Amino acid sequence: MSHEKFVEELLQTLKHPLRGAILYQLLKGKTTASKIGENLGEKPDRIYYHLKILKENGFIGEPEVKIRKNYLEKYYEISPEFRHTLLSSVKEISQKEQEMSPDEYRGFMLSFLSMVISVLQGYKKRLGIASPEKIEKIREDNNFEVKPIFFTDSVFREWLREARVLSHGSLMDMFTRGASGHLGLIIALPDLDTEENPQN
């Protein structure tokens, strides 16, 4: 598949927030539809439907079937071709974003926000039933952080520039063994009221 064709299909896929959230779950490694549904707070039937579409697009390969005592369990994972093409298409993806109309880009933004909300809702649900031992371990490791920060324009741009350098430099990490445990989210929300309330 050419880079241009891949980018078109990727952006089309990401227009559906749940499908995008499933894709991000699969980037963590091989897993089942039930586990994805648990992580995202969705029913397995909905997950299976979108997995079928991702498979048709060539983003995931044939599932690995494991025979359990009373049932068959299917494990899905991102195809090697998808991983390779994604990493080599970063420039084309950025260029395609610049070519979008305002309405197309608005839809792109809304989809990504919905995808993040889906991931956070799933995490919140799992956090609510996590064991006290797990919570204590998180507290000891001191690796949980949620902090809304309001910026002036110049500081916001500098913060975003540094965050992008960090995230782009870390892109390969999600393709390495052991990178499935932690999730970092970078969310930059530009001021929608700038004209009414100008900031320096």
For residues 141-147, give the mean pLDDT.
91
pLDDT at 70 over 50: yes
Side chain identity at residue 33, one-letter code: A
The whole model's pTM is what? 0.69
Looking at residue 200, its pLDDT comes to 46
CA-CA-CA-CA dihedral for 57, 62, 65, 71, to nearest 10: 30
Contact 57, 9 (CB under 8 A): yes
Looking at residue 1, its pLDDT comes to 63
Confidence of residue 195 (pLDDT cuts 50, 70, 90): low
Hey, where are the domains in the chain?
3-144
DSSP 175: G
Residue 66 phi/psi, 5° resolution?
-115, 135
Confidence of residue 196 (pLDDT cuts 50, 70, 90): low
Q: Which of 47-56, 123-132, 181-190 has the highest mean pLDDT?
A: 47-56
Contacts of 72 (CB under 8 A, 6+ apart): 65, 66
For residues 124-141, give the mean pLDDT.
91
The whole-angstrom distance between residue 98's C-alpha and the CA centroid of its chain comes to 21
DSSP 196: T
Q: Strands (DSSP E) along 26-92, which ranges? A: 64-67, 72-75
How long, in residues, is the chain? 200
195 C-beta neighbours (distance < 10 Å), count: 7
Q: How far apart are alpha carbons 43 and 78 in whole angstroms?
A: 21
Residue 139, CA distances (Å) to 7, 128, 170 in order? 40, 15, 24
Looking at residue 173, its pLDDT comes to 52
The token duo for 179 is 């990178």
Task: Tell me the CATH number for domain 3-144.
Answer: 1.10.10.10
